[in-house]
Every structure is written in structure tokens, then in C-alpha cells.
Structure 1
């Protein structure tokens, strides 16, 4: 498995899915200019864009962090056997994610913390697994860290009108509520200090309770930004939101702030869904940013 050491923390990339997401660039990142994709076509293909179909390629993956003796998962993907009729790519998915996690040296009972950067369908799925007819916490010894803002926003009891609409159907019920009912959640606000190396911060916009995980260990810095970035074109044009951002103006402002912070701190940026090398260092360029260098993770192949 691909592992990177940052100060006293190791970061391992664990794959659930990599491939097409049935959206064109114009649909996936509607604020982005067609010319931007064309200008950078040479390196967006094949890791981030299928040249034959013009469909975006995306990764569903979990970052496994080991820090101060604890095993920490950042986001838990889509999950198996989940009923997702309004998201066909994820409907009744059946992957070897737990096998991939085991190959990274992690058994479900080994996990100490689960961080859900936000509560979208593709970030909470492996919070639970289907045990007979019951959705059961996958990581029975873990504390699941969720923002209170997202917990309240996506809780169907609160009847919020969301951008995803039917796309969020059943997600809270099968992937969030069971771990909360089991007493395994911690709902945090504003910031949450995990240990000397890791701290969570609210980063609203994509969802009201979206968060980032900041790593500072020795001289190394990193930002795990969840869906602040779905595509590397959003580094080049940070005003370009994905089609899934609940609060567009706030998402743009948060993205610019965090990318600026990454430059100032020389922090490696870990989005949730990038294929290719998965993470990047960024620099300022014009009114936006550019990729300075990629992380040394091995690019995925679609059928591996």
C-alpha cells in the first residue's frame, strides 16, 4: 500500500473505487470554463478525465492516518449494499474495501477514530455494514467525529431543503443514525484538537458543516480538505464550484482561504477524490493557484 510519512504521522491511501462518475466536466464543475479543461488536457487525461467519453474520473478512497499510537480514518466512502437509486454509480456497490483496508494493516476493530469531513453519500458509507438486515457500525471501537452543523443539516427530522434533494435519501438513516444510536459519535463545533499533530476545523460551503483536517508535525504540514476540491481544475480556478456545493459563495471563499493557507504553510493538499497521485503542493499563479508538485502515491488504474 502507498504510505507517506509526514513528521510523526503516516498517511496511507486505501481505495474503494476509481473510475467514471457519469458526469462531463461542464456538469461536474459547472463554474469552470471549457477552455480551462482544454488548456490542461494533456495532464488531466487519463487520471482525471476519460479522453474518449469526456467523462470525469474520480476516486473514492480513505486516508488512513497513524498518529500517537492511534489509527484514524479520514472519510469512509460509499459502502457496500447501500440503496442509492438516485446515485446509480453508488447503488448497491460491492467492493473489496475492507480487504484493501486489511492489506493496509487495518482491521475494523483496530480503528480508534473515524473522521467524516462532511456527511455526503460518498463520505460516510463504510460507517456501517449490513449485518443480516441491520446496519451495524463497521468500526466498533472507534469514535466517529462529525460536525454538529452537518449532523443537524442532513438529519431528515429537521426537514431541510438541500441541494442534493433525493440524492441524500437514506444516507443519514443507514450510515449516520446507527453509529449515533450506538453512542459512538462525537458532534463537534468550530474546532476539535485530536492530538499534538492533528486538528479539525470547520470549512463551510460545500456543506454547512464541511471540515478540514490540519496536520502539523515537525516541519511537515498537510490539509485534508474533503470535497473542497473535487477536481484539480478547482486549484487552477478556485472560484469554480462543483455541482454539489450547498452554499456556492461560501464554498468559493473557503476554497480560496484554504489554498492560500496551503501555499503559506507549504502544506500538502489531500482532496477526497483525486485519482492520479492523490495529493499536491500548490503555489499562487495569477488570480488562482497552480500545482507545484504531486505527492508520491502510485496512480490508480481503473480496473486494478
Structure 2
């Protein structure tokens, strides 16, 4: 996920899911893409049909013609406080990372840790990090530069992520051809180079990684990984169940609420668009059926909401 123009982030929000408090920790907000750039295949008529659903917090007014609106996306982390643990879901982009392929993510200097501290959490307080996938804007704060070396930011935390994602990204980093399941369909992209080496490998080398088989059951405190591949090779959403309430941290299954109303559209950052669409449709169907509270990673405004069935498919409403 990347853009070209950074905007001041919105303030985070807090929700309660059973015994678990969920707080959004912001890194930054971007509006570097038009809707058609972010969602290739979006027809002008389709955008016109849905345009009125989105205010300026999600779609910037046109500056050069009716189809030049810029979509607003957020990059943030979800902080969970359970009765036993302090948990982060994804760790945003990180400071000082070299990302020349994505200028909006390159060499950042964001007060992310100060925002985490404002929520009452120091890096050493975090005892678990759950990662949906190993893209640049989801693993960056895994590490920070100390004495010229990338070292774990959260030194007490177990970092849980897909073993298949790890194998794939390690192969690319080492210059080897990774295994790609044919069922994912055509691959149209790969992760940014350097991400694995500066944001994932140091956590593994420090003995802080727990590699999991996605779909293998609860990892801790009502949290489990749900297989939703396509955006990346083994992308996972994360389900939370607590006291009969349910939420889903959907990662990059969707980048913008437009995709709820038009689920056939995969983002320009999806590596396997056919599988990404199938995962998105499965998430939407289940969320509508179960009235699941969805916590998105890139939706602007509150980033949290619910999916309902509509005459033309699905509809999104912010919580």
C-alpha cells in the first residue's frame, strides 16, 4: 500500500469487543491515488454510482475532471488489550526504511511510538504482535535502527505470522524462485525488496518469531488466523471472539469501502488478484451473515464498521 501525498492522520478510536479493548494507533493518511489507480478496472460509471456514499474523509473532491477524485487511505496499527496480553495487529511502515519503489513510505520520520505511548503502551509492554502479511506497511515497526542495526522494536513480544509467507519472502530475498500454489491464479506483483531483510529477518534472528499454519486454530486470547490469500501469497485476516462478540481484522482484503460495494475490484497492490477477489467475497458474505465488526487496515475515517446485504450486493456502514 503506498501513495504519493501524505496528510495529517486522523485521531484513533477505541472499541470494546467482549473483554478486549481495541484502539487504533495511527501512522499516516495518504491520498496519492485516484480511485481508478487504486482499483484497476473501476469503470467511471461504477464510481459515479457509488460516489455519493463517500464523503471527503474517503474521497477527495475532483480537481481536474469528474474522475480525478483521490481516494483517502489510512495506515495504522490495531492495539488490543485483553485481560492477559497487550497485542498489536500489524505494525505499519516504520521509520527510516528504504522504500524507493513507494516514495510515500520511503525514509519516514513519524511519531508512531509517541502515539502508542499516548495510548499508555511502551514498546516493552507489548507481548504479542500478530501480522496479517509481510508487506512493507504491515511489518515496518517490527524493527527500528539502533547503532546502525535493525533491532526488534518490541523486545518482549512474540511475533506471529504465516510460515508460508516467511518461506516465500525469504526465497525472494535470497534470490531463489519461490513456490507459488497454482490455485492462487496469475501473479501480477511481488513484495518490495528489502522489507524482509530490515523488518522480518531481525525478528526471526532474535528468536521472537512464531511461524504458524494459517487456519490452525486459536493462537491466544480468542485470536485466530483466517486464510484470506490473494493480496499476498498467504495473507491472513485475524478473528477475535470474546464473550460471544466477534470481530475480524481484515488486513488488506479491502483497501477502501468502494470494494464492499464492488467486490470484483482488487487493488493495484494485490499480488494475486483472482484469489484476492475470492477472499474478499468470502469475507463479505460471512461478515454480513454473522454481523461481524470489521477492523480494516486502510479505510480512512474510523476504519471500523459492518457489512450488510443490499439489493445490489453489499453495503458498508462505519461503526
Common fold, TM-score beyond 0.5? yes
- Could you say what secondary structure the match of 1:216 adopts? strand
Partner of 1:172: 196
Partner of 1:259: 284
User: For structure 2, which runs of at least 5 residues remain unmatched after alignment?
Assistant: 1-11, 64-68, 181-186
Partner of 1:13: 24
Please list every run of at least 4 consecutive aligned residues from structure 1 whose deviation after the TM superposition is greater than 3 angstroms. 158-165
User: For structure 1, which runs of at least 5 residues remain unmatched after alignment?
Assistant: 296-304
- Could you say what secondary structure the match of 2:250 adopts? strand
Matching of residue 31 in structure 1 with residue 41 in structure 2: yes
Question: Which residue, out of 128, 149, 153, partners 1:138?
Answer: 153
- Contact 1:67/1:197 (CA < 8 Å) preserved in 2? no
Q: CA RMSD in A?
A: 1.7
Partner of 2:61: 51
Deviations 1:24-71 (A, max 9, x none): 111111133322322332342311222145222111100001123201
Q: Distance in 2 between matches of 1:289 and 1:255?
A: 12
- Contact 2:142/2:203 (CA < 8 Å) preserved in 1? yes
Matching of residue 238 in structure 1 with residue 248 in structure 2: no
Equivalent pairs, count: 292
Q: Distance in 2 between matches of 1:118 and 1:226?
A: 8
How far apart are 1:252 and its partner, in Å? 0.9
Q: Distance in 2 between matches of 1:31 and 1:113?
A: 38
Partner of 2:66: none
- Contact 1:216/1:222 (CA < 8 Å) preserved in 2? yes
Bigger drift between 187-196 and 135-144 goes to: 187-196
Distance change >3 Å, CA 76–CA 201, structure 1 → 2: same
Question: Which residue, out of 271, 282, 299, partners 2:307?
Answer: 282
Partner of 2:83: 68
Deviations 1:260-297 (A, max 9, x none): 11111110111111111211111112452102x312xx
Matching of residue 185 in structure 1 with residue 196 in structure 2: no
- Contact 2:189/2:272 (CA < 8 Å) preserved in 1? no
Q: Distance in 1 between matches of 2:30 and 2:268?
A: 18
Bigger drift between 179-188 and 23-32 goes to: 23-32
Matching of residue 3 in structure 1 with residue 18 in structure 2: no
Question: Which residue, out of 128, 135, 145, partners 1:113?
Answer: 128
Q: Distance in 1 between matches of 2:313 and 2:163?
A: 32
